[in-house]
C-alpha cells in the first residue's frame, strides 16, 4: 500500500457517493429562485435521473388523509394536482398505511393497485414507493416506476429512503412547498399522538412541552496549547461546582431533594473524575474532547451493569459531563429556560441538578427517554410529587416544543397534543388519583392483615440515603433490603471504612428504630469498578460475584463488616450475604465477621447488642438446599428476580427473554412453595425481595403459596397494603393449590379473574 493511500482521506463507497451527489443536486434545485411548483418539478427530474426511473412522482398528504400528486416526471402533466388517492386506496395508500417501502415488479398485479386513467401509467410495471416520514407521521409518498418489470436493488431502495427522509425534512421546513401546503404539513405533524413508556412516578399531569436537550456547539478534538486547555478545564469544573453549591444554598430546598443533590455534589467534587479529565488533556485533547472521552469511559464501565441502581448513576455522570461542556462552551448562562406556565419537561436523560434548576412551581411532569425509578431524577421527582414516565422511544422526535402534553405516571401513558375530550379525561383522572393518594396516606398506619386474619409484613427496598424518608411516608415496617454496593462503584478506589461507617450510621438513624437489613456488597460480574477489574468472563451473571468474590477477597468484605459493626453499636445489626450457593460460603463469611467482632472486643470498642446474619437465595442450587442454608443463618430472603432468571435460564435484562416467561407460572410457583416450606421447617423468618413483589398479581400468588413478609419498592407499599386488607388469603390459597396441582401453564389471567371474583382491590391499570 502506498504512503498516499495510508494518509489520504477515506474514500466513501460508490453508493454513498451517488447519494451525496443526488443530495447536492436536490439542494441546488430547492435553493433556486423559483416558485414551489417549479422546485418540485425540478426535484422529480433530478431524482428520476439519478435513480434511473422512467417515472418519479411526489404525493403530498392533504386534509382528509388524501394524497395528491404534486409533481411528476414521466406521468401526464395534466394529472398533477388532479390525481388523488385516499390512504385506504392504491399502492400509494398502501405505503402510507404501513409506513414502509413497497417494491413490486408488476404493480398492476398487486391487490391494492388502483388505475387512474388521467396519469397515463398503463404501460408501467415496476413500482418502488417510499413514505415521507417525520415525527412518526406520513407527510407524503415518493414513487419511482419503470416500464419494464424489474426488481429494484438494495442500493436503489436505500437511495430512495434517503431521498424520502430529506424530502420530509424540507417539506416540514417550508423550503419545498407553498404556504398553504406547508401549513397542511404542519397540521399533520401536530395531529394527536400517543406513546406508552414505563411508569416511574405516579400521578397525572398536563402542560406545555419544554424540550430540555439542546445541541452543544461543535468543538475541536486536539489542543494547540495544553496549558490553556488545563486552565479552561479548571475554570469549567469550578463553575460546575459553584452551580451545584448555589442550588444547595437555596433555603427552599429540603428533605429528599437536598439529600439527592448532596449525593450528586459528591460526583462533582470527585477527585478521580477530575484527574481522568486532566490526564486526557495532558495527552493532547481539548477540554471538551477530554470530557467526551471520560464520559464514554464511564458509559462503557456502567452501562452493562444489571443492577438498576448502578446504571442510573451513569445518568448522573452523563449529566455532569453535559453541564461541564455547557460551561466550557459558554452556554451555561442561558440555562435553564424560564418557565411561564405549567410545563412537562422532555429530555433524553437528566440529572437532579438540571431538574432542580427549573422553576418548580411550573414543572408539572417529566418525560425521560432513559431513566428508571431509582434514578436521581426520579427520586427528586418523587419527592416533589412530579409525575414521570420514561422509556418512551420516539418521544424526542414526536413531541415538539410548546405542544400540549398529558402524562399518566401510573400507566406510563404520554398523550401528545390530546383532543379536548382526552384532556378532560386526564383532568378527571388526576382528581381521582389525588383522592386515592390521600387515602393511601390516611391508611399508612392501618394493620396489614387480610380479611381472614392473616398478617403480612411490608418492608421496603433502598440503596441510597435519600430513599429513607419513604419509610415514614409509606408506613413500611423497615428496610428489608439495603443495597450497599453503590459506594464501591462510584469512585476509583475502595471506599474507606470511615466513609462506609458514616453512611450506615446515617441510614440507621433515619430508620428511627425500624429494622434495616444491610446486604453486603454484591460485587463482581457486571458490577465491577475500574479498580477491581479481573479476567473477562463469558457469563458474568454466573461468574465470580456476590459472596463468592467477597470470601475470596476479604480485603473487600472485612472493612465493610468493620464499618457495619461500628455503625450499629450498641443497637441491632442485620447483615445479609448475597448470591449464596453453598453453606460453606456462609461459614467462610461468618468466620470473617467473627474475626472483626473479636478485633473490636480486643480493642475495647462497643458492639451491637444483637447481630443477626441472613442469606439471600438467588440460585436454584441454594433453593434446593434452602433448609440447610436456613439453619446456618438467622433469617432468609428470596431474591426473586435472579432466582427466576436462573430458573428459566433467561436473562432478566433482555426484553426478548422477558416476553418468553412469566413468573406467575405453575412450575416456578411450585418451586418457590417448596423453598418456603423447607425454610418454614427451620423456624427461620423468610422475606421475598425484588421487583416481582411490585406486581400485584405475582404478590398475591406469593401470598397464596405462603409468603408472609415482603420487601418491595416504596412506590408499591400503599396499594399493596390495600390489596392485602381486601384479600381473603385462605380462599385464594385453596384455589391456587388446585390450580398448581392442575399445572396450568398460564396463571396470570386466571389469578386476575379470581381476585376480581373475590372482590380484592386491584390497583388501577394492573
Question: Taking residues 184-196, what's their average pLDDT?
Answer: 74
Number of Cβ within 10 Å of residue 535's Cβ equals: 6
pLDDT greater at residue 349 or residue 518: 518
- Give the residue range(s) of CATH 3.30.450.40 domains in the chain: 14-189
Q: Residue 354's pLDDT is what?
A: 74
- Output the pTM of the full model: 0.55
The b/e string for 651-671 (b: 16+ C-beta within 10 A; e otherwise) is: ebbeeeeeeebbbbbbebbeb
Q: Is 698 left (phi over 0), alpha (psi -120 to 50) or beta?
A: alpha
Cell numbers standing for residue 680: 418454614
CB atoms within 10 A of CB 225: 10
Q: What is the DSSP letter of 204?
A: E
482 beta partners: 462, 518
Which of 536 and 431 is assigned the larger pLDDT? Answer: 431
Output the pLDDT for position 334: 46
Among candidate residues 50, 125, 327, 689, the one labeled active-site is: 689
The catalytically annotated residue of 348, 376, 470, 757 is 376
CATH 1.10.274.10 segments of the chain: 194-431
Distance of alpha carbon 566 from alpha carbon 597, whole angstroms: 10
Summarize the confidence of residues 66-70 as an average pLDDT.
90
Over residues 237-276, the pLDDT tens digits come to 888 888 778 777 776 665 556 666 666 677 677 777 888 8
Model confidence at 178, pLDDT cuts 50, 70, 90, reads low
- Residues forming CATH 3.20.20.60 domain(s) in the chain: 446-529+542-758
Q: In 512-586, which ranges are E strands?
A: 516-519, 572-580
Contact call for residues 378 and 388 (beta carbons, < 8 A): yes
* pLDDT tens digits along 316-365: 676 777 778 877 877 655 456 678 899 999 987 777 667 877 888 899 99
Query: Which segments within 378-534 are labelled E, that is strand?
Result: 388-390, 404-408, 413-416, 457-462, 479-483, 516-519
Within its chain, how far is the Cα of 224 from the centroid? Answer: 39
b vs e for 48-84, b when ≥16 Cβ sit within 10 Å of the residue's Cβ?
A: bebbebbbbbbbbbbeeeebbbbbbbbbeeebbeebe
322 given a catalytic annotation = no
Place of cell 419513604: 470
Span 611-630, average pLDDT: 93
CA distance 289 to 267: 19
Share of the chain above pLDDT 90, in %: 31
Question: Is the per-residue pLDDT at 740 higher than 80?
Answer: yes
Identify which of 415, 391, 394 has the alpha carbon closest to the alpha carbon of residue 405. Answer: 415
Q: Which fold has domain 194-431?
A: Enzyme I; Chain A, domain 2 (1.10.274)
For 378-401, b where at least 16 C-beta lie within 10 A, e where not — what string? Answer: bbbbbbbebbbbbbbeebbebbbe
More confident residue, 677 or 521: 677
Task: Find all residues with CB under 8 Å of 142, minimum gap 6, and list them.
Answer: 47, 56, 57, 58, 59, 129, 130, 131, 132, 160, 163, 164, 167
Task: Let me know if domain 446-529+542-758 sits in CATH 3.20.20.60.
Answer: yes
C-alpha grid cell, residue 410: 401510573
Comparing 92-106, 199-213, 217-231, 293-307, which segment has the lowest mean pLDDT? 293-307
Q: Which residues is 193 bridged to in the sheet?
A: 416
Model confidence over 645-693: pLDDT tens digits? 888 876 655 555 555 678 898 999 999 999 999 999 999 999 999 778 8
8 Å CB contact between 74 and 56: yes
State the fold for domain 14-189.
Answer: Beta-Lactamase (3.30.450)
| 539-572 confidence digits (pLDDT tens) | 555 554 566 666 767 777 888 999 999 999 999 9
Active-site residue 94, yes or no?
no
Amino acid at each position: 500500500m502506498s504512503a498516499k493511500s495510508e494518509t489520504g482521506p477515506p474514500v466513501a463507497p460508490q453508493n454513498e457517493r451517488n447519494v451525496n451527489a443526488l443530495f447536492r443536486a436536490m439542494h441546488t434545485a430547492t435553493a433556486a429562485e423559483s416558485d414551489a411548483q417549479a422546485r418540485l418539478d425540478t426535484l422529480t427530474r433530478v431524482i428520476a435521473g439519478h435513480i434511473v426511473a422512467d417515472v418519479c412522482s411526489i404525493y403530498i398528504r392533504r386534509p382528509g388523509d388524501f394524497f395528491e400528486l404534486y409533481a411528476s416526471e414521466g406521468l401526464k402533466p395534466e394529472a398533477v394536482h388532479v390525481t388523488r388517492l385516499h390512504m385506504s386506496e392504491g399502492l400509494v395508500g398502501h405505503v402510507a398505511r404501513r409506513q414502509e417501502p413497497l417494491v413490486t415488479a408488476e404493480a398492476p398485479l398487486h391487490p391494492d393497485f388502483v388505475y387512474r386513467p388521467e396519469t397515463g401509467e398503463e404501460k408501467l410495471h415496476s413500482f418502488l414507493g417510499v413514505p415521507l416520514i417525520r415525527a412518526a407521521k406520513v407527510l407524503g409518498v415518493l414513487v419511482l416506476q419503470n416500464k419494464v418489470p424489474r426488481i429494484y436493488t438494495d442500493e436503489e431502495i436505500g437511495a430512495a429512503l434517503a431521498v424520502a427522509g430529506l424530502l420530509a425534512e424540507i417539506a416540514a421546513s417550508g423550503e419545498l412547498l407553498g404556504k398553504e401546503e406547508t401549513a397542511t404539513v404542519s397540521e399533520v405533524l401536530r395531529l394527536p399522538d400517543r406513546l406508552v413508556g414505563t411508569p416511574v412516578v405516579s400521578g397525572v399531569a398536563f402542560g406545555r412541552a419544554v424540550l430540555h436537550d439542546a445541541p452543544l456547539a461543535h468543538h475541536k478534538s486536539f489542543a494547540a496549547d495544553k496549558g490553556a486547555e488545563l486552565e479552561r478545564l479548571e475554570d469549567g469544573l469550578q463553575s460546575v461546582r459553584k452551580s451545584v453549591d448555589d442550588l444547595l444554598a437555596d433555603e427552599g430546598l429540603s428533605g429528599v431533594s437536598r439529600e439527592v443533590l448532596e449525593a450528586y455534589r459528591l460526583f462533582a467534587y470527585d477527585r478521580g473524575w477530575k484527574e481522568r479529565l486532566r490526564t486526557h488533556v495532558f495527552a493532547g485533547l481539548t477540554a471538551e474532547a477530554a470530557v467526551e472521552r471520560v464520559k464514554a469511559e464511564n458509559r462503557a464501565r456502567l452501562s452493562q451493569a444489571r443492577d438498576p441502581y448502578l446504571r442510573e448513576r451513569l445518568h448522573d455522570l452523563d449529566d455532569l459531563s453535559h453541564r461541564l461542556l455547557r460551561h466550557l462552551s459558554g452556554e451555561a448562562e442561558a440555562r435553564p429556560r424560564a418557565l411561564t406556565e405549567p410545563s412537562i419537561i422532555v429530555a433524553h436523560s437528566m440529572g437532579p441538578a438540571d431538574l432542580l434548576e427549573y422553576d418548580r412551581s411550573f414543572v408539572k411532569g417529566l418525560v425521560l427517554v432513559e431513566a428508571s425509578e431509582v434514578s436521581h431524577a426520579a427520586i427528586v421527582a418523587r419527592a416533589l410529587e412530579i409525575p414521570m414516565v420514561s422509556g418512551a422511544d420516539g418521544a424526542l422526535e414526536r413531541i415538539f416544543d410548546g405542544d400540549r402534553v398529558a402524562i399518566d405516571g401510573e400507566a406510563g401513558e404520554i398523550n401528545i397534543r390530546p383532543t379536548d375530550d382526552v384532556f378532560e379525561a386526564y383532568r378527571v383522572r388526576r382528581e381521582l388519583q389525588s383522592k386515592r393518594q390521600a387515602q393511601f396516606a390516611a391508611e399508612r398506619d392501618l394493620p396489614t392483615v387480610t380479611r381472614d386474619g392473616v398478617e403480612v409484613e411490608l418492608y421496603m427496598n433502598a440503596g441510597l440515603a435519600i430513599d429513607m424518608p419513604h419509610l415514614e411516608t409509606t408506613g413500611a415496617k423497615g428496610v428489608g433490603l439495603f443495597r450497599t454496593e453503590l459506594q464501591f462503584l462510584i469512585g476509583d478506589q475502595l471506599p474507606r471504612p470511615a466513609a462506609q461507617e458514616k453512611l450506615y450510621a446515617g441510614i440507621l438513624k433515619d430508620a428511627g428504630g425500624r429494622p434495616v437489613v444491610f446486604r453486603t456488597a454484591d460485587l463482581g460480574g457486571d458490577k465491577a469498578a475500574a479498580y477491581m477489574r479481573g479476567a473477562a468472563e463469558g457469563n458474568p451473571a454466573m461468574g465470580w460475584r456476590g459472596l463468592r468474590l467477597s470470601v475470596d477477597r476479604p480485603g473487600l468484605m472485612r472493612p465493610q463488616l468493620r464499618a457495619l459493626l461500628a455503625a450499629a453499636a450498641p443497637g441491632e445489626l442485620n447483615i445479609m450475604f448475597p448470591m449464596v450457593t453453598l453453606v460453606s460460603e456462609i461459614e467462610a463469611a461468618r468466620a470473617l465477621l467473627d474475626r472483626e467482632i473479636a478485633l473490636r472486643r480486643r480493642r475495647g470498642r462497643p458492639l451491637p447488642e444483637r447481630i443477626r446474619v441472613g442469606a439471600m437465595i438467588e440460585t436454584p442450587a441454594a433453593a434446593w438446599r434452602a433448609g440447610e442454608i436456613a439453619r446456618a443463618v438467622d433469617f432468609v430472603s428470596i431474591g426473586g428476580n435472579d432466582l427466576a432468571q436462573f430458573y428459566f435460564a433467561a436473562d432478566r435484562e433482555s426484553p426478548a427473554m422477558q416476553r418468553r416467561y412469566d413468573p406467575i407460572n405453575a412450575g416456578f410457583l411450585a418451586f418457590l412453595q417448596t423453598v418456603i416450606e423447607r425454610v418454614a421447617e427451620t423456624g427461620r423468618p423468610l422475606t421475598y425481595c425484588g421487583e416481582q413483589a411490585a406486581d400485584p398479581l405475582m404478590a398475591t400468588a406469593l401470598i397464596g403459596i405462603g409468603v408472609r413478609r415482603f420487601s418491595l419498592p416504596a412506590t408499591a407499599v400503599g396499594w399493596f397494603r390495600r390489596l392485602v386488607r381486601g384479600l381473603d388469603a385462605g380462599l385464594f390459597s385453596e384455589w391456587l393449590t388446585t390450580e398448581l396441582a392442575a399445572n396450568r401453564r398460564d396463571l396470570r389471567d386466571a389469578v386476575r379473574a379470581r381476585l376480581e371474583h373475590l372482590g380484592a382491590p386491584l390497583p388501577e391499570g394492573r
